Amino acid sequence: PLLWWGLGGYIVFALIHSGFSVWPARAETKAASTKWQALVPLLALVLLFICVWNGETSFAVWTCVLLIDLLAVGTAWSVRSVLALLVALIATLITAALWIFTPPPVEEGIVGILTVVGGFGIFFSVAASLLMRRLANGVGDTRRNVPALAAAMPFILLMMVVAKLPVPEPSAVFAVALLMTVVLLALGILGRTSSIAAVGLAFTWVLEREWHTLHFSSAHAVLPLAWYIVFGLLFIAFPFFAREERNPIAWAVGAVSGLLHFLLIYEVVAASYPAFRNGLLPALFALPFACGVYYLVRKRGVLPSSGDARLAWQGGAVLLFVSLIFPIQFQREWITLGWAVEGLALLALFRLVPNAGLRLAGAALLSVAFVRLALNPAVFEYHRRAGTRIWNWYLYAYGIASLCSLGGAMLVQDFRATELARLIPRLLYTLGAILAFLLLNIEIADYFSIGPTLTFSFSGNFARDMTYSIAWALFAFALLLIGMKQKMRYVRYAGLALLLITLLKLFLHDLGSLSQLYRIGAFIGVALILIVASFVYQHFLAPAASAEKS
């Protein structure tokens, strides 16, 4: 019976201290002192925290919290104090979090929690945006980030709800998240601050990912799939309505949203609808970004040659999903090959849209694909060894990745303005050559392997050992030819080094392990390659080098 009297006393306490923090106005009062006085009314939230701690979470308590937050925001507006708003935000967040982590409530309690989370989230997001429009001095003012911080609060609480409570059906949680997302995107459009949309995307996707990991069931996949599509399309459509003309953040948000929600949707389709796990899914995702490219070029007048980052984000997203069509269709190493093909596509787009970020992203994706294939021994355990020799998934995966690296190097080798620009083609040529050499050895090992696993061995099979020696010599000869023809001394050095290794293997290993017939074959093969290499150098490349010097 005394609860209402106690809450009324808290409100009166906060109201009196709010009034005396701004009235009477005294000219001699320092600004810092005034801002600290604005924090005094928030002490009432400490009293309400004690109420929640003791299990009192009725509607009256949260109404009182809302009224005290209104007084705090009004005081912060009056004395121009960002600190008062932040303290009120953090205190409310802690109070709501305590409610969530109290003994599990009944279903009606979950609805009440979501109502409080949504209401306070909208309140603080709007209040922070309005206050920052009054106080922020310009683009460089760090206080412009306060609305983004306020926007994160409801999503943190929703993640607590998903982690703490049983939520097998996501509609209630996702509806609150959708409401908050719409509010944030609207504030971003009106306030010309796309960073709020980036914060909303990050927390929305983490919430979706958390629910999917903890509560998703393939037997009830329709509803989650619909929510994932709605959230994805909402962020993809955001840049078309953003009011920042040349800021690429909005278009980056749309592109990143497409990738993140594709991963979620692909998991749902693979688990619940395996018949639709094919190349049609990435093709559908490429369509909105193709529309984005068309919109920027035709409606906004963006020239591809300008290197505009907005066009780079949308074009890169189109190429990403187009490059995933065939790997997903064949369902073998689709992630690795998607990275490799996307890297090549980004480097091709770089020639059309000369944005340095495209070149770096393309080189990074090709490097990641190389690491996954060359430095990950578990890659051979992902798929059983097929009975078909040569024309197998090793040729498919390593061959495509190698060609993508070599093709990417050829696409960017003419851009040499900076040291980094000169380094990228050298790196990609190196990665492509290493992958090609690995493919050569893998195919030899696969040809002579028996059983379901791939076996690497350099003893016990005379034909295999001879094949290794001849194949290494041929690869070294190819490197020598390319290095001399293209005047790349590092490629020549690599060819010579491999040739020396082949000779050492021939004399130190093959002489003792091979039978007489295979030993003769290995020596004849390597000798013929050396003779041809010497002949080519003396008759074709050495005269050209002498003429160039003279």
DSSP character for 39?
A: T
What's the pLDDT at 499? Answer: 79
**Once rounded to an integer, what is the mean pLDDT over residues 454-473?**
73
Q: Say how far apart CA 146 and CA 411 lie, in whole Å.
A: 43
Q: Are the C-beta atoms of 289 and 255 separated by less than 8 Å?
A: yes
Q: Is the pLDDT of residue 439 over 70?
A: yes
> pTM for this structure?
0.70
Residue in the block written with tokens 């990665």: 431
DSSP tally for the chain: helices H, then strands E: 22, 0
Output the CA–CA distances (angstroms, integers) from residue 118 to 125, 156, 175, 176, 285, in the order listed: 11, 12, 9, 6, 30
The model's pLDDT over 322-335, given as tens digits with 9 standing for 90+, comes to 888 877 876 656 67
Q: Is the pLDDT of residue 45 over 80?
A: no
% of the chain exceeding 70 in pLDDT: 71
Split at pLDDT 50, 70, 90, the class of 28 is very low
What's the pLDDT at 512? Answer: 59
Split at pLDDT 50, 70, 90, the class of 107 is very low
What's the pLDDT at 69? Answer: 73
- In this structure, what token pair is assigned to residue 293? 């490219």
What's the chain's average pLDDT?
78
Q: Is the pLDDT of residue 398 over 60?
A: yes
Q: Is the pLDDT of residue 289 over 70?
A: yes
What's the pLDDT at 8? Answer: 66
What's the pLDDT at 32? Answer: 47
Q: Is the pLDDT of residue 540 over 60?
A: no
Q: Is the pLDDT of residue 218 over 80?
A: yes
Q: Say how far apart CA 124 and CA 131 lie, in whole Å.
A: 10
**Once rounded to an integer, what is the mean pLDDT over residues 43-56?**
67
Percent composition of the chain: helix, strand, coil (DSSP 3-state, to 5): 80, 0, 20
Q: Is the pLDDT of residue 238 over 60?
A: yes
The model's pLDDT over 186-211, given as tens digits with 9 standing for 90+, comes to 878 877 778 888 888 999 999 999 99
Looking at mean pLDDT, say which of 153-162, 213-222, 528-537 comes out highest: 213-222
Looking at mean pLDDT, say which of 267-281, 375-389, 450-464, 508-522 comes out highest: 267-281
Q: Say how far apart CA 161 and CA 146 lie, in whole Å.
A: 24
174-178, 291-295, 468-472: least confidently modelled range: 468-472
Q: Is the pLDDT of residue 355 over 50?
A: yes
Q: Between 78 and 278, whose confidence is greater?
A: 278
Q: Say how far apart CA 240 and CA 299 lie, in whole Å.
A: 11
Q: Is the pLDDT of residue 385 over 80?
A: no
**Once rounded to an integer, what is the mean pLDDT over residues 428-447?**
90
Q: Is the pLDDT of residue 465 over 60?
A: yes
55-64, 267-276, 284-293, 307-316: least confidently modelled range: 55-64
**Once rounded to an integer, what is the mean pLDDT over residues 77-88?**
72
Q: Which residues are within 8 A (CB) of 151 and not within 5 positions of it... i.e. 6 or more apart?
A: 121, 125, 180, 184, 187, 196, 199, 200, 203
What's the pLDDT at 487? Answer: 76
Rounded to the nearest 5 degrees, what angle is found at the Cα of 188, between the Cα atoms of 182 and 191?
135
What's the pLDDT at 266? Answer: 93
Residue 541, SS3 per DSSP: helix
